[in-house]
Structure 1
Amino acid sequence: MSVQTEENHCYENAMAERVNGILKDEFYLDQTFDNDTCQKSCKNAINLYNEVRLHLSLDYKTPNMVYKLSA
């Protein structure tokens, strides 16, 4: 699983590499999965990232907390 960006856009690539690193390091998505397990693992990782994981750049809030506060 990896995030795709446009070719030759270094700033977009940096963001994609950051997200890929988080998914691989924190959510153990750096292994080989069968298709069904991959989909479940990715869905779970995205849920944890958005609902549970506190982000320093968001003043220790989750992305969903920040979204709900801004809506």
Structure 2
Amino acid sequence: MKRVIPMARQKKDAKILNIRLATPVSDKLESFCKESGQTKTVAVERFLTKCLDEYFAIPKERRSIN
């Protein structure tokens, strides 16, 4: 009988981001993660990707942050 050695997951290319969130925002994020079963990292990556994709889809001369 051969012994199966689990393969380690390859680390993704990433940078560490430390931020301070307002308590109400942090509480909403916690609730969202509990309901959706996502980690905070996955949830924030998905939110940022969606927001930044929408921002960069606008022509540069029309971009603004409200």
Name the TM tier (shorter chain): 0.3 to 0.5
Structure with the greater relative contact order (CA < 8 A, sep ≥ 6): 1 or 2? 1
Q: TM-score, normalised by structure 1?
A: 0.32
Structure 1 or 2: larger helix share? Answer: 1
